[in-house]
């Protein structure tokens, strides 16, 4: 089903999704979970250069959220060592 | 850029995120509520501390259960409701938005030293008024500091073990000792059908039928008498909200708001005592139950579970009779998300560093299967995912329970949410969840008490990933942390913690001495010693945590958790003492799995296979943090790594993965179940890394360990498919308390920016 909602006073603007990228992500998740039996996965999808920029200029990113691990947090609320650790993880291409 | 280095941590984050920057949502009401939450600062409420202290002083010498139950009943009766503008869901666990009830009975021992820094600390600071601070320091902390579980627990242990198990950095139980009343899937399905009234009638009947000649009736009489008072207390609390809403309606000028308040008054008169009559009353129950659990309990991870399942009948009814639209349902869901996010978790300062960001780990699931193994998804599943795109809150963790039968459209909806970059949703494999729950708390030979129908119908992750069944399970699910990455190093340091790392005990014993290093003449002998170290840590943490479990069971009963368990009232046993069908925990988690695997692998490759250095040289290199051994460090770093579909490393990964799980699952808890293992400890790999000396994968002392079950940072170099082929080799059902895997997909592959 496709959800059609009428929210004229809402703040949300749908981003321009890359149809092929979204489809590929869906196939990738099916492979991981349905085929390979992996129990859980969660994704960070903020570009790494955005996090590096947000670390230098946090005042411009008050509501930037990231997946730390098992939960989401505001980027600016994390300690510096945690921020560095997240930036240091591997950013994969699909 | 030295100055900017200070610009991290919640203290700083809060200073730039105000009510203006976060006014997002699908309607003006939601935007206003979101703004109100962000305009507030996390704050401590001492109401719980005050009531608890009073009740405990009045009941000195009375049975432990009577005192706990009386305290909970009094908390609900005396709580002063507040209703804010724009709200339709009534209830808060504290007197202000973003408040936390200070659980003085859990925290007094550390508060004694840290209370003066609580307002200004870098990670997760809390506001508190001067008067409240004074009352805490002069009255509540002195009364409670020797009565907390941690203080009582310390009486069982030698001094060095107390420090080692809380601050040493190898085998750690600190998160368990201070967060009791946690990790819970309330029996929402029961409340939707019967309301609390159902439990009241059951408890009353059980009390009447007690046989006074049966010695069991002594405790059960306390139990039922206390529980009935707690139930009436909750009823009174809801009615107090109803009265306030009605009173506010009387003076409200805006006719639309007046109607909303009258509707709220009507709702709170009815639920949670009675079963809900519509979607609004049902979602009010969902929220109100979280509030009371956060008034009574100190810990995290009260979880909404299979929300799209128990709410759907009300959704369908509302759409059919015209009283509800998808947009209105989503607005309620967004309000629930905002209010859920507004519950901070108060932690001791060193734990706030591990778990920073105030998150209290609520969790909401959609999708999955029903008990007939059909796809269970419905329109609400989509709305719950879409709502998060509009409202953009950190909580709850929204999850998709994925199965082969899950429609592609729902998975695409979830991927679109994921592409937005907030970290929502988590994806869970429904089949693996079922396998895990069939084995939960059953040990290596046995199985869980759950039926397959129960698992399919109400199985759900708690907190981050820990599996449970709604209304059937109680127990802490992130109790002990074992820093497995430390084990190879400790083999080579004779169990002594190296110098110049964080935490208690540099130069002190963290583990036992395996003896001369020269005995490790083969890889097999070295590997066996690594496993011995891991086993030592698991068993020490287990012994220490089961003492805490016993203290909780005997003295820290949880009446509200009990009455939200199915069958606990009939059994006449409190949640903390084993009242659930499935009594899990204290669980044991591994931290630094990838670092461990890479360290063993590098030692095998460099020392034993290629003989590029001796084991004694490796020991020297690790104790000196590679000073003078850069060449060796680079060789270790170049060895095969976990996460590249290379069996040289992955064979070790599979074996040590299984070893950890089996060792944990052979141990029993105090309430009669077996201990469950997990790989899940959120950000703990950073804090534990700071306490860990150099490791044999070429990692310098103090650096972060690998994250949860993922490959070491930057070492999964062979692409995303090779990484997941490595992960696919692990035995997931063996981890009966779940596993976390974090991955990073480049956002610009998913969205044009």
ipTM comes to 0.98
Distances in Å between the alpha carbon of B596 and those of B224, B500, B521, B655, B691? 50, 21, 20, 12, 15
Nearest to B673 by CA among B612, B585, B590, B744: B585
Q: Which pLDDT score, from 0 to 100, does residue B1 have?
A: 31
Chain B residues within an 8 Å CB radius of A87: none
pLDDT band, residue B420 (cuts 50/70/90): very high
Q: Among B394, B685, B750, select the one facing A21 at the smallest CB separation.
A: B750
Instruction: Please check the confidence at residue B344 and state whether its pLDDT lies above 70.
Output: yes
Closest by CA to B97, choosing from B271, B272, B340, B304, is: B340
Residue B680 pLDDT > 90, yes or no? no
Can you list the positions of beta strands (E) in B342-422? 363-367, 397-402
Q: Strand pairing of B742-744 and A40-44?
A: parallel
Q: Does A42 touch chain B (CB under 8 A)?
A: yes
Min Cα distance B276 → chain A (Å) is 26
* Cβ atoms of B586 and B545 closer than 8 Å: yes
**pLDDT level of residue B9 (50, 70, 90 thresholds):** confident
Which residue reads 């808890």 in tokens? B669
Nearest-CA distance from B363 to chain A in Å?
9
Give the model confidence (pLDDT) of B695-740 as tens digits.
999 999 999 999 999 999 999 999 999 999 999 999 999 999 999 9
Pairing of strands B426-429, B397-402: parallel
Q: Does A52 touch chain B (CB under 8 A)?
A: no
**Residue B108: its H or E element:** helix B104-114
CA dihedral sign, ordered B568, B571, B573, B578: negative
CA distance B460 to A73: 22
Contacts of A18 in chain B (CB under 8 A): 749-752
Pairwise CA distance, residues B11 & B338, whole Å: 20
Whether the CB-CB separation of B561 and B293 falls below 8 Å is answered with: yes
The runs of H, that is alpha helices, within B444-483 are 452-458
Residues 724-743 of B with CB under 8 A from A: 724-725, 727-728, 730, 732, 735, 738-743
Cα–Cα dist B383/B317, whole Å? 16
Whether residue B704 and residue A81 make contact (CB cut-off 8 A), yes or no, is yes
- Nearest chain A residue (CA) to B704: A85
Chain segment B359-413, per-residue pLDDT in tens: 899 999 999 999 999 999 999 999 999 999 999 999 999 999 999 999 999 999 9
Return the structure tokens found at B327.
Answer: 């947009």
For the cut 90, the answer to whether the pLDDT of residue B16 exceeds it is: no
Q: How confident is the model at residue B11 (pLDDT cuts 50, 70, 90)?
A: confident
Contact yes or no for B8 and A79 at CB 8 A: yes
**Residue with the larger pLDDT of the pair B357 and B473:** B473
CA B425/CA B27 separation, integer angstroms: 22
| CB-based contact B749 A18, cutoff 8 Å | yes
Is the CB of B415 less than 8 angstroms away from the CB of A92?
A: no
Alpha-carbon span B584 to B565, nearest angstrom? 14
Q: What's the gap in Å between the CA of A57 and the closest CA on chain B?
A: 8
Angle at B496 between CA B495 and CA B498, to 5 degrees: 130
Q: Is A13 touching B (CB cutoff 8 A)?
A: no
B85: Cα separation from own chain's centroid: 31
pLDDT of B5 > 50? The answer is no
- Beta strands A65-67 and B99-101 are unpaired
Q: Do B746 and A81 touch (CB under 8 A)?
A: no
Residues of A in contact with B685 (CB under 8 A): 85
Alpha carbon distances (Å) from B76 to B69, B339, B720: 11, 19, 51
Phi-psi region of B301 (alpha: psi -120 to 50; beta: other; left: phi over 0): left
Q: Among B159-163, B326-330, B573-577, whose mean pLDDT is lowest?
A: B159-163
Restricting to B residues 416-435, those with a Cβ less than 8 Å away from any Cβ of A are 416, 418-429, 431-433
Residue among A1, A9, A83 minimizing CB distance to B8: A83
Rounded to whole angstroms, the Cα distance separating B598 from B658 reads 16
Of B22, B358, B724, the CB nearest to A36: B724
């Amino acid at each position: 089903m496709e959800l059609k909602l009428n929210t004229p006073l809402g703040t949300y603007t749908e981003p321009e999704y890359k149809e092929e990228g979204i489809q590929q992500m869906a196939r990738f998740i099916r492979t991981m979970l349905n085929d390979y039996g992996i129990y859980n996965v969660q994704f960070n999808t903020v570009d790494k250069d955005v996090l590096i920029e947000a670390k230098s200029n946090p005042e411009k990113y008050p509501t930037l959220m990231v997946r730390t691990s098992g939960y989401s947090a505001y980027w600016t609320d994390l300690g510096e060592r945690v921020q560095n650790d997240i930036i240091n993880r591997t950013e994969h291409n699909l | 850029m030295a100055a900017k280095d200070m610009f991290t941590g919640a203290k700083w984050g809060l200073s730039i995120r105000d009510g203006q920057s976060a006014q997002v949502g699908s309607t003006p009401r939601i935007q206003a509520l979101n703004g109100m939450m962000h305009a507030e600062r996390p704050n401590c409420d001492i109401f719980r501390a005050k009531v608890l202290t009073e009740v405990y002083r009045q009941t000195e010498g009375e049975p432990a259960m009577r005192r706990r139950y009386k305290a909970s009943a009094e908390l609900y009766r005396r709580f002063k409701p507040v209703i804010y503008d724009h709200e339709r869901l009534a209830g808060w666990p504290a007197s202000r938005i973003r408040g936390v009830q200070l659980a003085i009975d859990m925290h007094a021992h550390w508060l004694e030293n840290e209370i003066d820094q609580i307002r200004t600390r870098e990670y997760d600071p809390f506001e508190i008024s001067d008067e409240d601070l004074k009352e805490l320091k002069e009255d509540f902390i002195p009364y409670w500091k020797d009565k907390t579980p941690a203080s009582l627990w310390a009486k069982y242990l030698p001094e060095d073990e107390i420090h080692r198990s809380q601050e040493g950095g190898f085998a750690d139980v600190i998160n368990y000792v201070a967060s009791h009343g946690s990790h819970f899937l309330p029996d929402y399905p029961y409340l939707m059908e019967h309301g609390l009234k159902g439990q009241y009638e059951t408890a009353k009947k059980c009390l009447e039928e007690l046989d006074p000649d049966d010695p069991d009736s002594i405790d059960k009489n306390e139990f039922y008498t206390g529980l009935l008072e707690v139930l009436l207390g909750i009823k009174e609390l809801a009615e107090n909200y109803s009265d306030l809403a009605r009173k506010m309606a009387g003076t409200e000028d805006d006719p639309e708001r007046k109607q909303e308040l009258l509707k709220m008054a009507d709702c709170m008169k009815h639920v949670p005592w009675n079963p809900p009559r519509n979607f609004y009353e049902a979602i009010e129950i969902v929220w109100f139950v979280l509030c009371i659990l956060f008034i009574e309990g100190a810990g995290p991870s009260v979880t909404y579970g299979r929300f799209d399942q128990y709410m759907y009948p009300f959704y369908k009814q509302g759409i059919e009779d015209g009283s509800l639209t998808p947009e209105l349902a989503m607005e309620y869901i967004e309000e629930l998300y905002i209010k859920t996010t507004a519950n901070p978790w108060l932690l001791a300062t060193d734990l706030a560093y591990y778990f920073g960001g105030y998150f209290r780990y609520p969790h909401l699931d959609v999708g999955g299967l029903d008990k007939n193994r059909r796809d269970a998804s419905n329109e609400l599943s989509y709305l719950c995912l879409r709502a998060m795109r509009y409202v953009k809150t950190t909580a709850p963790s929204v999850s998709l329970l994925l199965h082969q039968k899950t429609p592609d459209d729902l998975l695409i909806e979830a991927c679109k949410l994921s592409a937005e970059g907030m970290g929502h949703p988590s994806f869970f494999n429904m089949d693996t969840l079922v396998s895990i729950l069939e084995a939960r708390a059953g040990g290596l030979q046995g199985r869980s008490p759950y039926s397959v129908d129960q698992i399919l119908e109400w199985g759900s992750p708690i907190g981050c990933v820990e599996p449970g069944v709604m209304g059937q399970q109680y127990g802490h699910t992130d109790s002990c942390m074992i820093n497995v990455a430390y084990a190879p190093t400790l083999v080579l340091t004779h169990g002594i913690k190296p110098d110049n790392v964080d935490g208690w005990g540099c130069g002190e014993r963290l583990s036992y001495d395996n003896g001369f290093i020269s005995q490790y003449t083969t890889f097999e002998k070295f590997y066996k010693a690594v496993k011995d170290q891991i086993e030592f840590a698991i068993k020490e943490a287990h012994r220490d945590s089961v003492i805490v479990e016993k203290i909780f069971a005997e003295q820290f009963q949880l009446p509200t958790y009990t009455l939200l368990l199915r069958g606990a009232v009939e059994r006449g046993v409190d949640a903390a003492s084993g009242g659930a069908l499935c009594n899990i925990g204290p669980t044991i988690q591994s931290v630094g799995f990838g670092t461990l695997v890479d360290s063993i692998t590098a030692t095998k490759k460099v020392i034993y296979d290629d003989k590029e250095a001796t084991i004694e040289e490796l020991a020297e290199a690790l104790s000196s943090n590679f000073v003078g051994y850069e060449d060796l460090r680079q060789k270790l770093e170049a060895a095969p790594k976990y996460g590249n579909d290379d069996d040289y490393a992955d064979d070790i990964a599979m074996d040590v993965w299984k070893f950890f799980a089996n060792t944990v699952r052979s141990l029993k808890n105090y309430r009669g179940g077996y201990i469950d293992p997990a790989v899940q400890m959120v950000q703990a790999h950073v804090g534990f890394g700071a306490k860990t000396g150099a490791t044999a994968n070429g990692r310098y002392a103090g650096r972060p360990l690998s994250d949860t079950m993922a490959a070491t940072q930057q070492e999964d170099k062979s692409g995303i498919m090779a990484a997941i082929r490595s992960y696919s080799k692990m035995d997931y059902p063996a981890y009966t308390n779940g596993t976390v895997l974090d991955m990073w997909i480049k956002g610009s592959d998913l969205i044009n920016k």
